[in-house]
Amino acid sequence: MNSDLTIIFLTLNLMPESWVRFQLEHLVQSADGARIISISRVPMSLGDNVLQTEPRSYWNIYMQLLRGSHMATTPYVAMAEDDVLYTPNHFSEFRPKMDEVSYDHSRWSLFTWDNMYCMRQRINNSTMIGPREYVIDALEERKARWPQGLPDTRVGEIARPDKDRLMRVSPRKMFVWYCRNPVVQLTHESGTDSGNYPRIPGRKRLIKKHGQMKAYDIPYWGKASDVLKYYYGTET
């Protein structure tokens, strides 16, 4: 039982229904009793649900994480996003110190347009687990310094040094760890940074590239093509 953890799930309710069913089934199982706070655009029957109406942006993601962290009462909070598949190990294997946030580096990206996984070895907000009070302190500092928010190019993960400098906030500590079983994050056209992806006509953009390691099949999740059936609604 993950009684010391609250999972804060963020969604704009833009993902395909077949994916939503598949992803939430795994999320609830992997939570293993942890409280879930879901923050969505439309009402959901997932944990304690509240609605968000703010404009879509990276800044809003972190402000909703702050909102959920204030609602939580557990020592730790974990971020969860609607395009990520989580394993039980991700939520149970590791807890950081009380003065640092952690990021699970066992994160494979799954490119929806070429049936391939890749690993970029980068921190990502979708795998953040941190002490609740430390997360609140970091995000409240951002909010106080920039009450009108910041553009997406200046916003990033808690304890990411380059973004802390851009936002002119206190440097924070992080710890990177590797879960026994990986999480999988879709690289798709509905993401907040979808301007970086192909198939968006009429927009100048950089194309997301594969990372250092590539695979068509990985432990726990199996073949990329089988997982993507739930995104495209072709599962049987």
- Per-residue b/e over 152-187, b at no fewer than 16 CB within 10 Å? bebbbbbbbeebbeebebeebebeeeebebbbbbbb
Burial (CB count <10 Å: 0-12, 13-18, 19+), residue 126: buried
What six digits make up the tokens of 2?
């993950």
CA distance to 121, 195, 206, per residue, from 211 (Å): 8, 18, 15
Per-residue model confidence (pLDDT) at position 195 = 44
Per-residue model confidence (pLDDT) at position 212 = 73
Per-residue confidence at 1, pLDDT binned at 50, 70, 90? confident
Tell which wins on pLDDT, 206 or 93.
93
Rounded CA gap, 35 and 49, in Å? 11
Per-residue confidence at 233, pLDDT binned at 50, 70, 90? very high
CA distance to 52, 79, 154, per residue, from 49 (Å): 10, 15, 29
Per-residue model confidence (pLDDT) at position 191 = 53
Rounded CA gap, 62 and 65, in Å? 5
Q: Is residue 211 over pLDDT 80?
A: no
How many domains does the structure of the chain reveal?
1
Closest Cα to residue 71, out of 145, 16, 10?
Answer: 10
Residue 11: domain span? 5-232
Per-residue model confidence (pLDDT) at position 205 = 44
Mean pLDDT of 204-208: 49
Rounded CA gap, 143 and 125, in Å? 17
CATH classification of the domain holding 23: 3.90.550
State the distance between the two ends of the chain, measured CA to CA, in whole angstroms: 32
Alpha-carbon torsion, ordered 139, 10, 225, 180, to 10 deg:
50
Per-residue model confidence (pLDDT) at position 17 = 96
Rounded CA gap, 126 and 124, in Å? 5
Per-residue model confidence (pLDDT) at position 113 = 85
Q: Is residue 197 over pLDDT 50?
A: no
Question: Tens of pLDDT along 17-52?
Answer: 999 999 999 999 999 999 999 999 999 999 999 999
Per-residue model confidence (pLDDT) at position 206 = 42
Mean pLDDT of the chain: 92
Range in 124-138, 176-190, 194-208, 214-228 with the lowest mean pLDDT: 194-208
Per-residue model confidence (pLDDT) at position 12 = 96
Per-residue confidence at 100, pLDDT binned at 50, 70, 90? very high
